[in-house]
Structure formats: C-alpha cells, structure tokens
Structure 1
C-alpha cells in the first residue's frame, strides 16, 4: 500500500546526488560485510547488515525514480550490480556456515530427544 493510500504523506523526493551517495554508502558497507564474512566476524556482519537495511529503507521512503538523470540512472545500475556481486560472494561464504549451524542444532535436538527417551526415570 502506498503512503498516499495509507493516509500518510510521502517523504519528499531526494535529489539525484543524494540517491547516488546512498547507493555508494551501501556498496561500501556491503564491501565491509564481505570482509567480515571472510574473517568469520559474524557479529560485525550482522551489525553492518542492519546499517545497510536502514539505508535501503531511507531510499524506499523517498520517491527516487524520477529524480535521476540518464548518467545518474546508469551509475545507479552499476552500483546495484556491484552490490549484488558482493552479496553473492557473501552468500557463498555464509551459506556453508549456516548449514553447519543448522546441522549442529539438529544434532543437539536429536541428542536431547534421545536423552529424554532413554533416560531412566528418576524417582
């Protein structure tokens, strides 16, 4: 539902330079997230992910589409492609770790269930 339909006033439009600056900031943060993933710094990765999310929400809150000239639109597309490429690298580093954690949790749960099933009653 758009801001107009929900009764809220839309945020003022950003200037093209502001939009590009935010995409550049997102790219920088995603680059740092990749460094965090390579260093197994999961807390740092999550913190930067939250910072990135705030910038994305800021972009979404403004009408940015009509404010970009052709050069800015081209720059935006280039930045988005770079962001997506880094994101793909991050996923290749994090997915095996997530699978490991999922297996660990599953094994712990199985062990707990076995312990409950075969533990002698204590009376």
Structure 2
C-alpha cells in the first residue's frame, strides 16, 4: 500500500510531466499554472512528512520519481531559455519579436 507521502510524490511527478508537455507546446501560461499546483503539493508533502516516513521500498520508488522530476525540470528549463531571453530583451526595451 502506498503511503500518502508516496502519493504526493506521484502527484508532483504527474504535474511535472504535464508542465513538460505544456512547455513543449509553448504554453507558458499553463506551465506557470502547473508550477503553482506543484508548489501546493510540495507544501502538503512537507507537512505530511513531519508525521510520516517511507518504508525502504517506498524510498526507492521516491528516488526513481525524483530522478524523473529532475529530468523533466531540466528539459523545461532548456525549453524556457529562448523564451526567457526574449522576455529579458523585451524588459530592457530592445525590440525583438516574441515567438
């Protein structure tokens, strides 16, 4: 049986995968919205972790989930780089068409 902690990790992984899909589609508003949902899940996870712990197998599952989340995050950041550069240029008042 999965602990509620593992359920939170799985939900964060799902949101991370959804964020990656939105980033691949260039839907940055959706990425930001999902990032907010992740923040809520992480806050709830931290609260639950104060009174619960994972068993050995659950900890291994958590580790695999965290690796996938980190890979998703790295790809999202890579996809966001051109968008962030365009935003930075726009904020500095330089003209360049946003995609």
Contact 2:23 2:76 in 1 (8 A): yes
TM-score using structure 2 length = 0.86
Unmatched segments (≥5 aa) in structure 1: 1-14, 109-123
**How many angstroms apart in 1 are the aligned matches of 2:53 and 2:18?**
28
RMSD: 2.1
Q: How far off is 1:25 after superposition?
A: 0.8
Match of 2:97 in 1: none
TM-score of the two chains, using structure 1 as the length reference: 0.70
CA positional deviation for 1:66 = 5.7
**Aligned pairs, number:** 95
Rg larger in 1 or in 2? 1
The Cα of 1:65 is off from its aligned counterpart by 8.2
Distance 1:98 1:89 in 2: 14
